[in-house]
A and B are shown apart, each in its own frame.
Chain A
Amino acid sequence: MKTLKLILLLFFIVFNTFSQQKTIESNLKNHKMNLGDSFTPISFVVDSDGKKSDCSRMIYYNKRGVFSSAKSITVDNETGTIKANEPGIHEIVVICIGEGGKRLSRTFDVDVKYPKVKEINLLIKKDKIYSGTYIPISYEVIDEKGFVRNNVNFSLKSSNNLIEIDAVNNVKAVKPGRTILEASFEGITGRINIDILKNPVEKIKLTSNLNECRTGDVVEFEAIAYNKKGEVIDDEMPFDFSFTGKSFDKSNTSSGIIMNDGRFVGDVSGKYLISATLGNVSSSKALNVYDRNVKRDVLKVGTGLVNDKHTSDFWVFEGVDGRDYAVTGTWGADGTSYFWDVTEPSNIIKIDSVQVDARTVNDVKVSEDGRICIISREGASNRKNGIIIIDVSNPYDVTIISEYTKNLTGGVHNLFIYQNHVYALSAGQKYYILNIEDPTNPKEVGVFELGKDGQSIHDVWIEDGIAYSSNWRDGVYLVDVGNGIAGGSPSNPVAFGNYNYATGAHHATFPFKSKSTGKFYTVLGDEIFPNGIDVNAPNETAGFLHFVDFTDPDNPFEIARYELPGHGSHNYWIEDDVLYVAMYSGGVRIVDISGDLMGDLYKQGREIGYILPGNKNGYIPFSTMTWGAQLYKGHVFYSDWNSGIGAAKVSPIKPDNSKVNQYLN
Chain B
Amino acid sequence: MRKYFFLFFALLNYNILLSQTYYVYVAAESDDVVSLIKFDGKTSKELNRIAVGVMPTEIEGPHGITVDPNGEYWYLSLAHGNPFGSLIKYSTKTNKPIGKTTLGLFPASMQVSKTTGLLYCVNFNLHGDMEPSSVSVVDPESMTEIKKITTGSMPHGSRISSDGLFQYSVAMMSDELFEIDAISLKVTRVLNLENKTDHSMHNSMNHSSIKPTWVIPHPFKKIVYIAGNGSNEIIEVDLETWLISDRFKTGKGPYNVEISPNGKYLIATLKGEGSTAIWNLENKSLLKIIKNSTTVSHGIAISTDNKFAFISLEGVGGEPGVVDIINLETFELVSSVNVGKQAGGIAFWKISD
Q: Contact at B144–A65, with CB atoms within 8 Å? A: yes
Known: A101-B164, A335-B318. A359 touches B30 (CB 8 A): yes
- List CB contacts (< 8 Å) of A325-372 with chain B: 331-336, 355-360
Contact across chains for A359 and B51 when beta carbons are under 8 A apart = no
CA distance A57 to B116 in the complex (A): 9
Quick check: A332 and B82 within 8 Å, CB to CB?
A: no
Contact, CB under 8 Å: A62 / B59:
no
Say yes or no: B51 contacts A534, CB within 8 Å.
Answer: yes
| A378 pairs with B126, CB closer than 8 A | no
Q: State whether B127 touches A379 (Cβ < 8 A).
A: no
* B342 close to A381 (CB less than 8 A): yes
* Minimal Cβ-Cβ distance residue in A for B319: A334
For residue B328, CB closer than 8 A to chain A, the reply is no
**Known interface pairs A65-B145, A77-B184, A95-B139; A411-B31 also in contact (CB < 8 Å):** no
On whether the beta carbons of B126 and A410 are closer than 8 Å, the reply is yes
Interface residues of A in 407-461 (CB under 8 A from B): 409-411, 413, 426-429, 454-456, 458
Is A101 a contact partner of B145 (Cβ separation < 8 A)?
no
- Minimum CB–CB distance from B51 to chain A (whole Å) comes to 5
Is the beta-carbon distance between A413 and B314 smaller than 8 angstroms? Answer: no
Cβ of A118 under 8 Å from chain B: no
**Which residue, of B113, B126, B183, B185, has the highest number of chain A Cβ atoms within 10 A?**
B183
Contacts A78-B186, A334-B317: A627 and B145 contacting too (C-beta < 8 A)?
no
Our pick among A59, A355, A413, A627 for the contact of B118 (Cβ within 8 Å) is A59
Complex CA gap A309/B317 in Å reads 13
Q: In this complex, what residue of A is CB-closest to B60? A: A533
Chain A residue at minimal CB-CB distance from B54: A532
Per a CB cutoff under 8 Å, which of A77, A360, A378, A379 touches B185?
A77
Contacts of A456 in B (CB 8 A): 82-83
Closest to A99 in B: B115
CA distance A70 to B118 in the complex (A): 18
Indicate if A103 sits at the interface (CB-CB under 8 A): yes
Q: Is the CB of B342 within 8 A of A529?
A: no
Interface membership of A519, Cβ < 8 A? no
Residues in chain B near residue A97, CB distance under 8 A: 115-117, 183
Other-chain contact of B115, A65, A101, A333, A381 (Cβ < 8 Å) = A101
Instruction: Give per-residue flags for B67-80: 1 if the beta carbon is below 8 A from chain A beta carbons, else 0.
Output: 00100000000001
A101-B117, A355-B317 are known contacts. Are A93 and B82 too (CB-CB below 8 A)? Answer: no
Q: Which of A65, A101, A413, A456 has its CB near the most chain B CB atoms (within 10 A)?
A: A65
Which residues of chain A come closer than 8 Å to B341, judged between CB atoms? 332, 359, 379
A111: Cβ under 8 A from any B Cβ: no
B80 CB contacts on chain A under 8 angstroms: 411, 428
B94 on the A face (CB < 8 A): no
B273 to chain A: closest CB distance in Å? 14
**How far, in whole Å, are A105 and B58 apart by their CA atoms in the complex?**
37
Tell me if B116 and A95 are in contact (CB < 8 A): yes
Give the residue name and chain of the B residue nearest to A409 (CB).
B127
The winner among A103, A359, A381, A413 for most chain B CB atoms within 10 A is A359
User: Least Cβ distance of B154 to chain A in Å?
Assistant: 12
- Known A97-B117, A427-B83; contact A65-B146, beta-carbon cutoff 8 A: yes
A533/B56 in contact, CB under 8 A: yes
Instruction: Kindly state whether residue A527 has any CB partner on chain B within 8 Å.
Output: yes
Cβ-defined contact, B30 with A332, below 8 A: yes
Q: How far is the CA of A59 from the CA of B316 in the complex (A)?
A: 44
A61 close to B (CB within 8 Å):
yes
The answer to whether B56 touches A535, judged by C-beta atoms less than 8 angstroms apart, is yes
- In the bound assembly, the distance between CA atoms of A413 and B69 in angstroms comes to 37
List residues of chain B with CB within 8 A of the CB of A62.
146
Contact of B83 among A63, A454, A534 (CB under 8 A): A454
B317 and A381 contact, CB distance less than 8 A: yes
Q: Which chain A residue lies CB-closest to B56?
A: A533
Could you say which of B29, B54, B83, B117 contacts A533, with CB atoms under 8 Å apart? B54
Interface flag for B53 (CB, 8 Å)? yes
Partner of B141, one of A105, A428, A533, A539: A105
User: Quick check: B55 and A533 within 8 Å, CB to CB?
Assistant: yes
Say yes or no for A152: interface residue by CB 8 A criterion: no
Chain A nearest CB from B141 CB (Å) reads 6
Given contacts A63-B144, A65-B145, contact A357 B317 (CB under 8 A): yes
- Contacts A66-B145, A66-B146 given; indicate if A527 touches B56 (C-beta within 8 A): no
Nearest CB in chain B to that of A384: its residue: B127
Q: Mark B37-59, 1 if CB is under 8 A from A, else 0.
A: 00000000000000101111111
Interface residues on B, range: 35 or more
| Interface: A130 (CB within 8 A) | no
CB pair A103 B51 closer than 8 Å: no
Write the A461-492 contact mask toward B (1 if CB under 8 angstroms, else 0): 00000000000110000000000000000000
Report which of A65, A101, A409, A529 forms a contact with B101, defined as CB distance below 8 A.
A65
Contact assessment for A63 and B142 in the assembled complex, using a CB-CB cutoff below 8 Å: yes
A564-615 contacts to B, CB under 8 A, are 570
Assess whether A383 is interfacial by the CB under 8 Å rule.
yes
Given A93-B139, A335-B318, A454-B84 in contact, is the A381-B29 Cβ separation under 8 Å? no
Residues of A within 8 A of B55 (CB): 527, 529, 533
- On whether A93 and B144 interact (CB within 8 A), knowing A57-B183, A332-B59, A411-B127, the answer reads yes
> Contact at A383–B183, with CB atoms within 8 Å?
no
Chain B: minimal CB distance from A363 (Å): 12
Q: Smallest Cβ distance from B63 to chain A, in angstroms?
A: 11
Q: Nearest chain-A residue to B164 (Cβ)?
A: A101
Q: In the complex the two chains form, is A359's CB within 8 Å of B139's CB?
A: no
B29 engages A379 (CB within 8 Å): yes
* A641 CA / B55 CA spacing, docked (Å): 14
Contacts of B101 in A (CB 8 A): 65
Known: A77-B185, A78-B186, A533-B51. A381 touches B314 (CB 8 A): yes
Please tell me if the beta carbons of B296 and A381 are within 8 angstroms of each other in the complex: yes
Q: Knowing A335-B317, A379-B30 touch, does A427 contact B127 (C-beta < 8 A)? A: yes
**Are A413 and B146 touching (Cβ within 8 A)?**
no
Q: Mark A303-331, 1 if CB is under 8 A from B, else 0.
A: 00000010010000000000000000001
Which residues on the A side are within 8 Å of B30 (C-beta)? 332, 359-360, 378-379
CB contacts under 8 Å to A, within B169-203, are 181, 183-186
In the bound complex, what is the Cα–Cα distance between A331 and B32 (angstroms)? 12
Contacts of A529 in B (CB 8 A): 54-56
Cβ of B147 within 8 Å of any chain A Cβ, yes or no, is yes
Partner of A627, one of B31, B57, B114, B319: B57
A97–B182 CA distance with the chains assembled, in angstroms: 12
| Selected contact of B317 from candidates A59, A77, A312, A359, CB within 8 Å | A359
| B59: chain A residues within 8 A (beta carbon) | 332, 359-360, 378-379, 411
Separation of A222 and B58 alpha carbons in the complex (Å): 49
Q: What chain A residues lie within 8 Å of B185 (beta carbons)?
A: 59, 77
Chain A, Cβ-Cβ closest to B184? A78
Docked complex Cα distance between A105 and B144 (Å): 13
Q: Separation in Å of the B166 CB from the closest CB of chain A?
A: 13
Are B82 and A101 neighbours in the complex by a CB distance under 8 Å?
Answer: no
Bound-state CA distance A532–B51 (Å) is: 9
User: Whole-angstrom distance from the CB of B296 to the nearest CB of chain A?
Assistant: 6
Contact of B316 among A357, A413, A534, A570 (CB under 8 A): A357
Chain A 100-128 near chain B by CB (<8 Å), digits 1 or 0: 01010100000000000000000000000
Residues of A with C-beta under 8 A to B33: 535
B315 pairs with A381, CB closer than 8 A: yes
Check if B32 sits within 8 Å of A359, measured CB to CB.
no
Which B residues are CB-close (under 8 A) to A332? 30-32, 59, 341
Query: B250 → chain A, closest Cβ, in Å?
Result: 20
Of the A-B pairs whose beta carbons lie under 8 Å apart in the complex, a sample of 13, sorted by A's number, is A59-B118, A63-B142, A65-B144, A78-B181, A358-B317, A379-B29, A379-B59, A410-B126, A427-B128, A454-B84, A529-B54, A533-B54, A535-B56
Given contacts A57-B116, A57-B183, 13 further A-B contacts (CB under 8 A): A57-B115, A66-B136, A101-B113, A332-B59, A334-B317, A357-B317, A359-B30, A359-B59, A378-B30, A381-B342, A427-B83, A533-B53, A535-B31
Which 7 A-B pairs give the minimum distances between C-beta atoms?
A334-B318, A410-B127, A379-B30, A359-B30, A533-B56, A61-B146, A78-B184
